[in-house]
Amino acid sequence: MTAFSLRPDIERTVINGFALALGITPGDVTPPTVGYTIAYASGHDDEPDTYSFYVAVSHEQVAPILQKAFALLPEEVCAIVEISSRDAYRQTDVFLSQEEISKRDFLRTWDQWEPILLEDGSIAAGANSESPFVEIFVDQWKGVSIIVPLDMHDDVERLLASAGLNEVQETWALGDENPALDNAQIRPVLADLDGIAADIDDVLMELRHDWGMELNIDPDTNVDEGGRSLGLTLWHAVLGVHRAGDTRQGADMLIWATAGSLTQLETLIEGVLEQSGEWVLAEVYSTDRIAYDERPDELSDLAPRYSEAEIHLVSIDQHTDHPPEESR
């Protein structure tokens, strides 16, 4: 595991005694009222009725609250990560465990990465379970959401009371009462690694490995956040590959393509690898849809309307001193 660390050159913002995560620079924001709110939600179909608790506490109290809250989870859970998206048609990427994992394994990884998860303002994470339905989640502002079935209401209230917290009418003031909240800035918190800028995407990849997570989208459609069909769009894929027969010779493969879904893009990628005969897929780092105006200079002649799914550009960045290879 890569030894990531936090930048030593940035200071934490503290507003009237309320400390924020290192990665958030809020401007003239009004701090929340410390405490928790409760909301009742009626279940649909086979879903249970639940109570949703939202907890706002100063940064030094977040980890202790989480550790108490994680005790509410059963022994099998699914991990959840939300992170700001580079996709042109989606603001947030949601990653979910594809199968249940043990709470012990979830917490082992959580403990390794908690210092970063609680400081980076672009990432949110937690876990949930199906039976009983319980969800413990810390958002980008490091507020803690606790969702439980009705019969666990008193358990949560006792937990929060033991931390000295009371129910409040509102935590964060929203809208016109707190306009600066929407203009808060996110800054990187990871220190450089041997002179190379560290990225939260590197942390995400570690979490995806440990928790068995995949991007939570329908791979056979191509829609925006509102559900509108987009048809064919431009995609940028970053893959980890190695030479056939030699896993020590690794490289990054960058692909620009037009496709009508993630499944169609994956089919195109398989064709590239089969045609090359030289490279074997090791890992898919990212697959993002790109707005036409954000295409690279190499695709400046690309028509704005796409007629078919196809590969436009493939480049190889080997993990050596060799210059990049390019095709198409």
pLDDT tens across 24-63, in order? Answer: 988 788 889 999 999 999 988 888 999 999 999 999 999 9
Label residue 55 exposed, middle or buried (CB < 10 Å: 0-12, 13-18, 19+).
buried
**Residue 300, pLDDT above cutoff 80:** yes
Q: Which residue in the block uniquely carries the two structure tokens 């809020």? A: 26
52 within 8 A of 39, measured Cβ to Cβ: yes
When pLDDT is averaged across residues 122-134 and rounded to a whole number, the result is 95
Q: Count CB neighbours of 53 within 10 A.
A: 22
pLDDT recorded at residue 28: 82
Handedness of CA 69, 72, 74, 77 (dihedral sign): negative
**Residue 128, pLDDT above cutoff 60:** yes
Residues 6+ apart with CB under 8 A from 46: none
**Residue 123, pLDDT above cutoff 90:** yes
pLDDT recorded at residue 179: 67
Nearest Cα neighbor of 234 from 208, 216, 215, 255 is: 255
pLDDT recorded at residue 198: 83
pLDDT in tens, 167-184: 999 999 876 666 667 778
**Residue 188, pLDDT above cutoff 90:** yes
Q: Which residue in the block uniquely carries the two structure tokens 């459609």? A: 221
When pLDDT is averaged across residues 118-136 and rounded to a whole number, the result is 96
When pLDDT is averaged across residues 108-122 and rounded to a whole number, the result is 96
pLDDT recorded at residue 184: 83
Name the 3-class secondary structure at 67: helix
pLDDT recorded at residue 322: 46
Q: What residues does 160 pair with on adjacent strands?
A: none
Residues 6+ apart with CB under 8 A from 321: none
pLDDT recorded at residue 208: 96
- Is the pTM here over 0.85, yes or no? yes
**Residue 254, pLDDT above cutoff 80:** yes
pLDDT recorded at residue 176: 66
Q: What value, to the nearest 5°, has the Cα angle with vertex 83 and ends 104 and 129?
A: 35
Backbone angles phi, psi at 276, to 5 degrees: -70, -40
Strands (E), the chain: 14-15, 18-19, 24-25, 35-41, 50-56, 76-84, 92-97, 101-102, 123-129, 134-138, 144-149, 185-186, 213-215, 233-243, 246-259, 279-290, 310-318, 325-327
Nearest Cα neighbor of 90 from 218, 206, 270, 212 is: 218
Nearest Cα neighbor of 187 from 64, 26, 2, 304 is: 26
pLDDT recorded at residue 173: 82
Label residue 327 exposed, middle or buried (CB < 10 Å: 0-12, 13-18, 19+).
exposed
pLDDT recorded at residue 321: 47
Q: How confident is the model at residue 87 (pLDDT cuts 50, 70, 90)?
A: very high
pLDDT recorded at residue 199: 87
pLDDT recorded at residue 326: 52
Q: Count CB neighbours of 256 within 10 A.
A: 20
pLDDT in tens, 13-25: 999 999 999 999 8
